[in-house]
């Protein structure tokens, strides 16, 4: 059923780049919003001033836009619930923290870092499973509190977590989740620098921004009991929670920089198509229930549902991403590829190679089935851009026999007689020469390929000749005969 009320958000803390895990979270939120005719909000959670990175928000926005995940409200798109940068909402968090204080659900804490450290050490010595604040400041008298406030002593505001309670919530993916409140610390809501913690700001904003579904990575599951306590303390309705499975390296450890790229920008710069990356990331933890793996974003919107997101961690398989990249590239029209290829050439050493569009289109057609990236149209077939400077050694050993030079000279002579040869003309000549020399066609094709391209594999032989053109083919045959002769002497 289409729910016009759906509002979801992607709420990254700007770290300087967009993590692929972040892209997955953003994508699932985007898909869910579009599918349900809802709104997709971008909220920047920049309340950790120690982690401030210049330009991080701009990078993030650029990466989301590159991927095509356009949000409806965000830092640069005004909406009814803004501003969408938490650092611009500080009074709001203070107001709500005060509300909790006035109801006895939160309290000021003036403990020094030294006292907290001593407490931690003591609890470690007692082998308590986790360090917890001992509610010392909860018991200060109103007079003591006032004095401390007047003296401007450094302070934080903490949530007063009731002990011995079961904290329960439902999660679309994790199902029913329970935590014991004895394991939940009296978390800080407002830090000593006056900034809110993630927990307070996140809950207040999700409420004020009328977020209906909180879709985020599993690493936030352990924060959710704290959030649930806050919703209950404020008397607010909880959103629906959906915690997405972890992303794993192929060895099933948590996806990390050490084992490969994690920044969306890195994949973009390496030449991955946004369609392929989106398709790949969509399958990290979700499937439509069939074997289909190739998707455009519109089909993903149509098929996506939170119910079909898995619990189990999703392995980041680069081979699959490469495969999808090749598939998406192949599905593009030749003209689309031409535009991309021209840009790639512009940034390559073949900038001044001056190949006509017509020739580039022929290269595209010949190579389309053999490439993974746009740049492969250059680097896996450099011979279209320049004559080979060397020849595959193994292929020489295998295919360059005593009589090869003579055979190729014979071919060359026949090619010379042709005017404006087509692919078929080359093929006919080769078949005829093979017959006359009484050798199999392969005996001519392998060394011919080596002579004109320097390589033993590539596109169809006659495509290759046709694209290079008669004069170039003849020139290359002559050069190869001389060079290879010198090499095998
Ligand atoms: N700011 C958190 C992050 O960096 C947001 C987590 C959430 O979605 O609640 O991912």
DSSP 71-99: -SBBTTB--TT---BGGG-HHHHHHHHHH
Q: Is the pLDDT of residue 487 over 90?
A: no
Phi then psi for residue 283, to 5 deg, are -85, 0
Domain assignment of residue 125, yes or no: yes
- pLDDT at residue number 489: 72
Please indicate whether residue 21, judged by its CB atom, sits closer than 6 Å to ligand 1.
no
How far does the centroid of ligand 1 lie from the alpha carbon of residue 14, in Å? 10
Q: Is the CB of 85 under 6 A from ligand 1?
A: no
Of the pLDDT bands very low, low, confident and very high (cuts 50, 70, 90), residue 131 is: confident
3-state secondary structure of 226: helix
Per the domain annotation, does 324 fall within a domain?
no
Residue 258 pLDDT exceeds 80? no
206 Cα nearest atom in ligand 1: 9
Does residue 15's CB lie within 6 angstroms of at least one atom of ligand 1? no
223 CB less than 6 Å from ligand 1? no
Name the closest-CA residue to atom 10, ligand 1.
Answer: 12
Percent over 90 (pLDDT), the chain = 92
In the residue annotation, 155 being an active-site residue is answered as: no
Residue 436 sits in a domain of what CATH number?
1.10.10.350
- 35 within a domain of the structure (yes/no): no
User: Does any domain span residue 295?
Assistant: no
d(CA 10, CA 27): 9
Say yes or no: 369 and 453 in one domain.
no
Spacing, Cα 348 to ligand 1 middle (Å): 40
Atom of ligand 1 nearest to the CA of 223: 9
Q: Which domain holds residue 378?
A: 332-385
Bridge partners, residue 309, by sequence = 286
239 DSSP 8-state letter: P
380 lies in the same domain as 408: no
In a domain, 298, yes or no: no
CA of 161 to the centre of ligand 1 (A): 22
- Local confidence band at 386 (pLDDT 50, 70, 90 cut-offs): very high
Phi-psi region of 198 (alpha: psi -120 to 50; beta: other; left: phi over 0): alpha
When pLDDT is averaged across residues 449-465 and rounded to a whole number, the result is: 97
User: 257, 343, 398, 485: which one is catalytic?
Assistant: 257
Both 182 and 163 in one domain: the answer is yes
pLDDT score of 128: 86
Residue at a domain's end among 370, 385, 400: 385
- Cα–Cα distance for residue pair 435/249, rounded to 1 Å: 56
22 occurs within a structural domain: no
Query: Is residue 210 a part of any domain in this protein?
Result: no
The reply to whether 442 falls in a domain is yes
Query: Which atom of ligand 1 is closest in space to residue 22's alpha carbon?
Result: 10
Kindly state if the Cβ of 12 falls inside 6 Å of ligand 1.
Answer: yes
Domain co-membership, 413 together with 453: yes
pLDDT at 475: 98
- Is 261's pLDDT higher than 90? no
pLDDT at 37 (0 to 100): 96
Question: Can you give the pLDDT at residue 4?
Answer: 53
Which pLDDT score is estimated for 488?
81
Burial of 436 (0-12, 13-18, 19+ CB in 10 A): exposed
Q: How far is the CA of 395 from the centre of ligand 1 (A)?
A: 55
Q: Choose which residue among 21, 41, 48, 198 to substitute to test ligand 1 binding: the one with the highest number of ligand atoms within 8 A of its C-beta.
A: 198
Average pLDDT along the chain: 96
Position 1 scores a pLDDT of 43
371 lines ligand 1 (CB under 6 A): no
The 10s digit of each residue's pLDDT in 179-224 is 999 999 999 999 999 999 999 999 999 999 999 999 999 999 999 9
Q: How confident is the model at residue 2 (pLDDT cuts 50, 70, 90)?
A: very low
How confident is the model at residue 3, as a pLDDT?
A: 46
- CB of 86 closer than 6 angstroms to any ligand 1 atom: no
Q: What mean pLDDT comes out for the span 290-300?
A: 96
List of long-range contacts for 142-146, beta carbons under 8 Å, 24+ apart: 145/108
* CB of residue 249 inside a 6 A radius of ligand 1: no
The verdict on 447 and 465 lying in the same domain is yes
pLDDT of residue 49: 82
Pseudo-torsion of CA 211, 197, 309, 291, nearest 10°? 110
User: Which residue puts its alpha carbon closest to atom 6 of ligand 1?
Assistant: 11
What is the whole-number distance in angstroms between the Cα of residue 313 and the centre of ligand 1?
Answer: 19
Distance 39 CA to ligand 1 centre (A): 18
pLDDT at 379 exceeding the cut of 60: yes
Of 263, 252, 349, the closest CA to residue 23 belongs to: 263
Q: Are residues 343 and 401 in the same domain?
A: no
pLDDT at 113: 96
Same domain, 351 and 391: no
Tens of pLDDT, residue by residue over 301-341, are 999 999 999 999 999 999 999 999 999 999 999 999 999 99
Mean of the pLDDT values across residues 126-152?
Answer: 94
- Cα(41) to ligand 1 centroid in Å equals 13
- Which of 164, 190, 216 is the last residue in one of the domains? 190
440 pLDDT higher than 80: yes
Residue 25 alpha carbon, nearest atom of ligand 1: 8
Same domain, 403 and 488: yes
Rounded distance from Cα 54 to ligand 1 centre (Å) = 19
Maximum Cα–Cα distance across the chain: 111
Q: Among 171, 190, 209, give the residue marking a domain's end.
A: 190
Mutate to test the pocket of ligand 1, among 56, 211, 220 (most ligand atoms within 8 A of CB): 220
* CA of 123 relative to ligand 1 center, distance in Å: 30
CA atoms of 105 and 85, how far apart (whole Å): 26
43 CB near ligand 1 (under 6 Å): no
Same domain, 123 and 164: yes
Q: Whole-prediction pTM value?
A: 0.93
Residue 297 has pLDDT above 80, yes or no: yes
| Residue minimizing CA distance to atom 5 of ligand 1 | 11
Whether residue 413 sits in one domain with residue 358: no
The average pLDDT across 47-74 equals 94
Number of structural domains the chain divides into? 3
141: CATH: 3.90.800.10
Q: What is the mean pLDDT of residues 408-418?
A: 98
Q: Are 340 and 422 members of one domain?
A: no
Q: What's the distance, Cα to Cα, between the start and end of the chain in Å?
A: 77
Contact between 63 and 264 (Cβ < 8 Å): yes
**pLDDT at 107 (0 to 100):** 98
For residue 454 and ligand 1, the question of a CB distance below 6 A is answered with no
Residue to mutate, 10, 11, 16, ligand 1, most ligand atoms under 8 Å from C-beta: 11
Same domain, 372 and 411: no
């Amino acid at each position: 059923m289409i729910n016009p009320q759906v509002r979801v958000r992607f709420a990254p803390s700007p770290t300087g780049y967009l993590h692929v895990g972040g892209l997955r979270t953003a994508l699932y939120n985007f898909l869910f919003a579009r599918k349900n005719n809802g709104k997709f909000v971008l909220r920047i959670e920049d309340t950790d001033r120690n982690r401030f990175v210049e330009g991080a928000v701009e990078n993030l926005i650029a990466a989301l836009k590159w991927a095509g995940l356009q949000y409806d409200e965000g830092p640069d798109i005004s909406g009814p619930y803004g501003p969408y940068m938490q650092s611009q909402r500080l009074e709001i968090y203070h107001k709500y923290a005060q509300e909790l204080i006035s109801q006895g659900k939160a309290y000021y804490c003036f403990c020094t870092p030294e006292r907290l450290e001593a407490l931690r050490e003591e609890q470690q010595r007692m082998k308590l499973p986790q360090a917890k604040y001992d509610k010392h400041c909860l018991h200060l008298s109103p007079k003591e509190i006032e004095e401390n406030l007047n003296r401007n002593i450094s302070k934080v505001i903490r949530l007063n977590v009731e002990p011995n309670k079961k904290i329960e919530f439902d999660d679309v993916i994790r199902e029913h989740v329970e935590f014991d409140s004895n394991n939940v610390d009296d978390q800080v809501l407002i830090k000593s620098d006056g900034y809110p913690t993630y927990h307070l700001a996140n809950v207040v904003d999700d409420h004020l921004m009328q977020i209906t579904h909180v879709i985020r990575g599993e690493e936030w599951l352990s924060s959710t009991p704290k959030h649930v306590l806050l919703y209950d303390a404020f008397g607010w309705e909880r959103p629906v929670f959906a915690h997405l499975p972890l992303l794993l390296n192929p060895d099933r450890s948590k996806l990390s920089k050490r084992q490969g790229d994690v920044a969306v920008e890195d994949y973009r710069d390496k030449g991955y198509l946004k369609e392929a990356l989106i398709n790949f990331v969509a399958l990290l933890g979700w499937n439509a229930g069939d074997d289909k793996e190739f998707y455009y974003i519109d089909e993903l919107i149509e098929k996506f549902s939170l119910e079909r997101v898995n619990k189990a961690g999703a392995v980041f398989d680069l081979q699959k991403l490469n495969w999808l990249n090749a598939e998406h590239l192949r599905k593009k029209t030749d003209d689309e590829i031409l535009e991309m290829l021209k840009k790639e050439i512009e940034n390559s050493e073949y900038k001044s190679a001056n190949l006509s569009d017509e020739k580039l289109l022929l290269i595209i057609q010949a190579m389309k089935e053999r490439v993974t990236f746009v740049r492969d149209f250059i680097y896996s077939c450099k011979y279209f851009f320049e004559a080979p400077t060397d020849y595959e050694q193994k292929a020489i050993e295998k295919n360059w026999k005593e009589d090869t030079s003579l055979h190729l000279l014979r071919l060359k002579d026949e090619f010379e007689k042709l005017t404006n040869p087509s692919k078929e003309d080359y093929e006919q000549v080769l078949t005829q020469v093979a017959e006359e020399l009484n050798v199999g066609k392969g005996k001519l094709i392998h060394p011919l390929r080596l002579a004109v391209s320097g390589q033993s594999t590539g596109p169809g032989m006659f495509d290759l000749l046709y694209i290079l053109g008669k004069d170039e083919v003849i020139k290359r045959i002559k050069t190869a005969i001389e060079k290879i002769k010198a090499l095998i002497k």
